[in-house]
């Protein structure tokens, strides 16, 4: 994070207050996957969460990671995160598995949701791969309680790697696909989409290859009926620079030099701006675009939203025009 070198001249939303929590339970969920429960030290309710929501988990080593909530409730007494130890971890999941213990004090953000259920959907088709079940499992709880029409397709290499598989295996709505039980064949997303009830909404969370296959399978579906969430950035952040950002609220102009993001440059210019992941996957830095054509590099907005150019993630996206006017 770049430290401001001059007093802020514009404040575009100061950082949201963090929430003090303690880890109250750690439970195994599958091979290399654990459930972490956390609650306020005084037992007071936590901010409300809807299915699909995630929180920032601020670790004692200075890292911040985003994790989906497994349980969503209007007045939750705890947040539950499903975390898989990633062999290619950049330090987050490895630190969590090796260092965090019951009783550990942490801070988290309030929930944010860029992967919500569509309230008006006639039917919901939920698709999860591996640890991608975490937000999808919360959706099954909500839809089941509402007696909504839905089905779940949950895939992984083997049953040992699937969290909640024992609970879901007997559910009429759940279809479990283990690659090793089908000769290595992957879940047939084209079949699932083609056989879905008319006007279904489709949701997918899982590894990048599954998400890319899902987006190909739903290419002919109306964009407003296709919902997905990535775990990792899908494009390298834009650091090309060479354009001017105009701050509409003051009329101030800031040149973005090569090698820096919009967010970094505006912070160096003295602005206080919210951000978290700085990779375009959390949505905290979403900013309204007044004019100009962004070079979208985020994994939050849909293709339709990218084409509309109404907002952008300034932590990772750049500009295709000489000038970009932002609502800052």
- On whether residue 115 sits in a domain, the answer given is no
**Tokens of residue 273, six digits:** 């701006």
- CATH number, domain containing residue 280: 3.10.20.30
Instruction: For residues 157 and 215, state if they share a domain.
Output: yes
Instruction: For residues 148 and 241, state if they share a domain.
Output: no
Task: Tally Cβ neighbours within 10 Å of residue 60.
Answer: 12
What are the two backbone dihedrals, phi and then psi, of residue 174, each rounded to the nearest 5 degrees? Answer: -100, 135
The pLDDT of residue 170: 84
Among residues 127, 311, 123, 314, which one has the least CA distance to residue 237? Answer: 314
- On whether residue 49 sits in a domain, the answer given is yes
> Rounded to an integer, what distance in angstroms lies between the CA atom of residue 152 and that of residue 175?
6
The pLDDT of residue 72: 75
- On whether residue 118 sits in a domain, the answer given is no
**Tokens of residue 178, six digits:** 């283990």
Instruction: For residues 102 and 156, state if they share a domain.
Output: no
Exposure string for 123-140, b = 16+ CB within 10 A, e = fewer = bbbbbbbbbbbbbbbbbb
- CATH number, domain containing residue 50: 2.40.30.10
The pLDDT of residue 89: 66
Instruction: For residues 221 and 244, state if they share a domain.
Output: no
Q: Is 285 helix (H, G, I), strand (E, B) or coil?
A: coil
Residue that finishes a domain, picked among 108, 132, 154: 108
Instruction: For residues 136 and 77, state if they share a domain.
Output: no
Note whether 126 and 203 are within 8 A (CB): yes
Instruction: For residues 299 and 242, state if they share a domain.
Output: yes
Q: Quote the number of domains for the chain.
A: 3
The alpha carbon of 232 is separated from its chain's Cα centroid by a whole number of angstroms, namely 9
Residue that finishes a domain, picked among 229, 246, 265: 229
The pLDDT of residue 71: 85
Instruction: For residues 293 and 322, state if they share a domain.
Output: yes
Encode 98-141 in three state secondary structure.
HHCCCCCEEEECCCECCCCCCCCCCCEEEEEEHHHHHHHHHHHH
Residue that finishes a domain, picked among 62, 77, 108: 108
The pLDDT of residue 85: 92
Instruction: For residues 265 and 216, state if they share a domain.
Output: no
Instruction: For residues 202 and 279, state if they share a domain.
Output: no
Instruction: For residues 221 and 168, state if they share a domain.
Output: yes
- On whether residue 10 sits in a domain, the answer given is no
* Reported pTM: 0.82
Instruction: For residues 179 and 212, state if they share a domain.
Output: yes
Among residues 48, 51, 193, 197, which one has the least CA distance to residue 117? Answer: 51
Q: Which residues fall within 8 angstroms of residue 166, CB to CB, at 6 or more apart?
A: none
- On whether residue 6 sits in a domain, the answer given is no
- CATH number, domain containing residue 220: 3.40.50.80
Exposure string for 71-81, b = 16+ CB within 10 A, e = fewer = bbbeebebbbb
| Domain around 24 | 19-108
Note whether 19 and 46 are within 8 A (CB): yes
The pLDDT of residue 10: 33
Note whether 280 and 264 are within 8 A (CB): no
- On whether residue 91 sits in a domain, the answer given is yes
- On whether residue 102 sits in a domain, the answer given is yes
pLDDT string in tens for the chain (328-residue length): 222 222 233 333 345 689 999 999 999 999 999 999 999 999 999 999 999 999 999 999 988 889 999 987 777 899 999 999 987 666 789 999 999 999 999 999 999 999 999 999 999 999 999 999 999 999 999 999 999 999 999 999 999 999 999 989 889 999 999 999 999 999 999 999 999 999 999 999 999 999 999 999 999 999 999 999 987 777 788 999 999 999 999 999 999 999 999 999 999 999 988 887 888 888 889 999 999 999 999 988 888 899 999 999 999 999 999 999 999 9
The pLDDT of residue 108: 96
- On whether residue 86 sits in a domain, the answer given is yes
The pLDDT of residue 15: 52
Instruction: For residues 199 and 263, state if they share a domain.
Output: no
The pLDDT of residue 16: 64
The pLDDT of residue 236: 86
218, burial (CB in 10 Å: exposed 0-12, middle 13-18, buried 19+) = buried
């Amino acid at each position: 994070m770049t430290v401001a070198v001059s007093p802020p001249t514009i404040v575009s939303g100061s950082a949201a207050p963090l929430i003090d929590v303690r880890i109250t339970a750690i439970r195994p969920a599958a091979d290399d996957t654990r459930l972490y429960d956390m609650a306020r030290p005084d037992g007071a309710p936590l901010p409300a969460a809807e299915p699909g929501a995630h929180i920032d988990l601020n670790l004692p080593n200075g890292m911040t990671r985003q994790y989906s909530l497994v349980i969503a409730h209007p007045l939750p007494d705890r947040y539950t995160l499903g975390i898989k130890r990633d062999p290619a971890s950049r330090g987050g999941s490895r630190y969590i598995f090796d260092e965090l213990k019951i009783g550990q004090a942490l801070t988290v953000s309030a929930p944010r949701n860029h992967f919500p259920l569509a309230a008006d959907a006639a039917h919901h088709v939920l698709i999860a791969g591996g640890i991608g079940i975490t937000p999808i499992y919360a959706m099954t709880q909500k839809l089941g309680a509402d007696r909504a029409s839905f089905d779940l397709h949950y895939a992984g290499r083997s049953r040992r790697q699937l969290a909640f598989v024992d609970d879901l295996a007997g559910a009429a709505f759940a279809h479990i696909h283990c690659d090793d039980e089908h000769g290595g064949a992957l879940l047939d997303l084209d079949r699932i989409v083609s056989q879905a009830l008319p006007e279904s909404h489709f949701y997918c969370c899982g590894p990048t290859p599954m998400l890319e296959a899902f987006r190909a399978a739903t290419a002919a579906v109306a964009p407003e009926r296709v919902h997905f969430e990535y775990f990792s950035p899908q494009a390298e952040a834009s650091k090309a620079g060479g354009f001017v950002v105009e701050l509409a609220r003051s009329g101030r102009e800031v040149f973005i030099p090569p090698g820096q993001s919009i967010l970094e440059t505006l912070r160096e210019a003295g602005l206080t701006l919210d951000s978290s992941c700085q990779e375009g996957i959390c949505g905290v830095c979403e900013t309204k675009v007044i004019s100009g054509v962004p070079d979208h590099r985020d994994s939050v907005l849909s293709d339709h939203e990218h084409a509309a150019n109404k907002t952008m993630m300034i932590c990772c996206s750049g500009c295709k025009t000489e000038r970009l006017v932002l609502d800052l």
